[in-house]
Amino acid sequence: MKVDGRHFRSIWLEPDGWSVAAIDQRRLPHEFIVTRITTADEAGEAIRSMLVRGAPLIGATAAYGMALAMRSEASDAALDRTARMLLATRPTAVNLKWAVDEMRRVLAPLAASARAEAAYARAREIAEEDVAINRDIGRHGLDLIAQIAATKKPGEPVNVLTHCNAGWLATVDWGTATSPIYQAHDRGIAVHVWVDETRPRNQGASLTAWELGHHGVPHTVIPDNTGGHLMQHRMVDLAIVGTDRVAANGDVCNKIGTYLKALAAHDNGVPFYVALPSPTIDFSIDDGVRQIPIEQRAASEVTHLTGRTADGRIETVRVVPEGSPAANFGFDVTPARLVSGLITERGVLRADRAALASAFPERSKAG
Ligand code: MRU
């Protein structure tokens, strides 16, 4: 998508053909800084520190991390070591495991001498596939927005509420939840996005607002607890969120606070859609609410806030009394019954086991 009129992806291979560049998302929206990643350890650290984040981008970064590892040592031991290191970086987004397993599947049978080249080829493909998948998600989601625009909101903007950042920054390009929004906007359908700020890391306020603004999409940032009020007053036509892992039964894990929005949507008859690429489906998990591992992050993300001062300095300040404990659950799980539909690259599906298995039989059989 566009930054100041120039097309960017969130991650790419540098012209040297081996090092990887990524936008440092910890510095947005205040500074636009591109970082070079030159080793597997740096790729792991980029994921752990949330320099890159968002399920599909975490997967793509891990794939490049495996390629960087193979460039310096392509033994079986290096393959296993790198896979273990990357898998330990963040627990919830299943795209990480999907990408690492995929790289291992391709690389393990090869002679060590062939691994580096094959690893770069597959990592590049994974990144390209993500872009194509998200474009298709956008195409299917666009139909939902277009239908609301035509039937319920002629001449008025369609109001979409989203949570966290499931935008192009969270993927390689397009985003998942934002892809239908960008495609609607680009086709001249009037959309307006309610952007949940998404405490504690503020991915909505800092990232979603930044990327929508740079693409020219009208939007308004709201405190996380505003959605219910807006829905009661018919100010939300539909909600579209991303996800870090969808269980085989259609339960959806996403950034903490998503569940509350789904409850409010259900109570107010607002359609609640989840946009996902197929690598986000975890067919090995039958019950998302009980089985998806939920990342717990540092209390300091809750007790402190970072922002830019009037004179341009980036500062971190404490907002919670010294001595008050803070809990920081990174994700929650929305039960499938609250999900109106899953927007995938193969169409909009019911959030249930049968629909997921029949749309993605090759993934469902592999478990
Ligand atoms: O902790 P983050 O910022 O990696 O969490 C990201 C989200 O929850 C996104 O909404 C999700 O990964 C979907 S991204 C297309």
Q: Examine the domain organization and report whether 212 and 311 are in the same domain.
A: yes
As for how many domains the chain has, the answer is 2
Tokens of 113: 């001498």
Q: Examine the domain organization and report whether 219 and 342 are in the same domain.
A: yes
Q: Examine the domain organization and report whether 274 and 214 are in the same domain.
A: yes
The response to whether residue 280 sits with its C-beta less than 6 Å from ligand 1 reads no
Q: Examine the domain organization and report whether 98 and 68 are in the same domain.
A: yes
In 152-226, alpha helices (H): 178-186, 203, 209-215
Residue with tokens 């100041």: 4
Last residue of a domain, one of 128, 160, 192: 128
pLDDT at 4: 85
Last residue of a domain, one of 128, 151, 179: 128
Q: Is the pLDDT of residue 15 over 70?
A: yes
CA-to-CA separations, 87 to 71, 99, 281, in angstroms, rounded: 19, 10, 17
Q: Examine the domain organization and report whether 62 and 139 are in the same domain.
A: no
Which residue lies with its CA nearest to atom 6 of ligand 1? 54
Last residue of a domain, one of 128, 153, 176: 128
The response to whether residue 176 sits with its C-beta less than 6 Å from ligand 1 reads yes
Which residue lies with its CA nearest to atom 15 of ligand 1? 166
State the chain's mean pLDDT as an integer: 97
Contacts of 51 by beta carbon, 8 Å cutoff, 6+ apart: 22, 24, 25, 26, 35, 45
Cβ atoms of 241 and 280 closer than 8 Å: no
Handedness of CA 167, 171, 175, 177 (dihedral sign): negative
**The one catalytic residue among 136, 196, 224, 244:** 244
DSSP structure class, residue 205: I
> Quick one: average pLDDT of 273-290?
97
Q: Which atom of ligand 1 is nearest to the CA of 53?
A: 4
pLDDT at 3: 87
Cβ atoms of 351 and 250 closer than 8 Å: yes
pLDDT at 286: 95
Comparison of pLDDT for 6 and 281, the residue scoring more: 281
The response to whether residue 204 sits with its C-beta less than 6 Å from ligand 1 reads no
Tokens of 144: 């939902």
How far is the C-alpha of 280 from the C-alpha of 320, rounded, in Å? 35
Which residues are documented as binding site for substrate? Answer: 53-55, 90, 203, 254-255
Q: What is the pLDDT of residues 162-210, one digit of tens each?
A: 999 999 999 999 999 999 999 999 999 999 999 999 999 999 999 999 9
pLDDT at 1: 79
SS3 label, residue 315: strand
152 Cα to the center of ligand 1, angstroms? 30
Secondary structure E strands in 58-177: 158-162
> Quick one: average pLDDT of 225-245?
98
Which of 51, 135, 164 should be mutated for ligand 1, with most atoms under 8 A from CB?
164
How far is the C-alpha of 331 from the C-alpha of 294, rounded, in Å? 6
Q: What is the pLDDT of residues 30-87, one digit of tens each?
A: 999 999 999 999 999 999 999 999 999 999 999 999 999 999 999 999 999 999 999 9
pLDDT at 8: 94
Q: Examine the domain organization and report whether 99 and 210 are in the same domain.
A: no
In the chain, the amino acid numbered 28 is L
CA-to-CA separations, 168 to 40, 58, 180, 209, 219, in angstroms, rounded: 23, 13, 12, 12, 16
The response to whether residue 166 sits with its C-beta less than 6 Å from ligand 1 reads yes
What is the pLDDT confidence band of residue 367, given thresholds at 50, 70 and 90?
low
Q: What is the pLDDT of residues 289-330, one digit of tens each?
A: 999 999 999 999 999 999 999 999 999 999 999 999 999 999
Which of 173, 211, 224, 254 should be mutated for ligand 1, with most atoms under 8 A from CB?
254
pLDDT at 2: 81
The response to whether residue 167 sits with its C-beta less than 6 Å from ligand 1 reads no
DSSP structure class, residue 183: H
Q: Examine the domain organization and report whether 360 and 284 are in the same domain.
A: yes
Contacts of 299 by beta carbon, 8 Å cutoff, 6+ apart: 325, 326, 327, 328
Q: Which CATH number covers residue 58?
A: 1.20.120.420
The response to whether residue 160 sits with its C-beta less than 6 Å from ligand 1 reads no
54 Cα to the center of ligand 1, angstroms? 4
The response to whether residue 162 sits with its C-beta less than 6 Å from ligand 1 reads no
Q: Is the pLDDT of residue 14 over 90?
A: yes
Q: Is 251 a catalytic residue?
A: no
What is the pLDDT confidence band of residue 337, given thresholds at 50, 70 and 90?
very high
Which of 51, 161, 165, 181 should be mutated for ligand 1, with most atoms under 8 A from CB?
165
What is the pLDDT confidence band of residue 365, given thresholds at 50, 70 and 90?
confident
154 Cα to the center of ligand 1, angstroms? 32
The response to whether residue 97 sits with its C-beta less than 6 Å from ligand 1 reads no
b (16+ CB within 10 A) / e for 192-210: bbbbbbbbbbbbbbbbbbb
How far is the C-alpha of 180 from the C-alpha of 3, rounded, in Å? 19
The response to whether residue 93 sits with its C-beta less than 6 Å from ligand 1 reads yes
- What is the reported pTM? 0.97
Cβ atoms of 253 and 270 closer than 8 Å: no
Q: Which CATH number covers residue 360?
A: 3.40.50.10470
Residue with tokens 């469902």: 364
Q: Examine the domain organization and report whether 71 and 91 are in the same domain.
A: yes
* Range(s) of the domain holding residue 15: 2-128
How far is the C-alpha of 294 from the C-alpha of 255, rounded, in Å? 10
Q: Examine the domain organization and report whether 185 and 124 are in the same domain.
A: no
Q: Examine the domain organization and report whether 121 and 157 are in the same domain.
A: no
Q: Examine the domain organization and report whether 282 and 153 are in the same domain.
A: yes
Q: Examine the domain organization and report whether 211 and 244 are in the same domain.
A: yes
26 Cα to the center of ligand 1, angstroms? 14
72 Cα to the center of ligand 1, angstroms? 31
167 Cα to the center of ligand 1, angstroms? 9
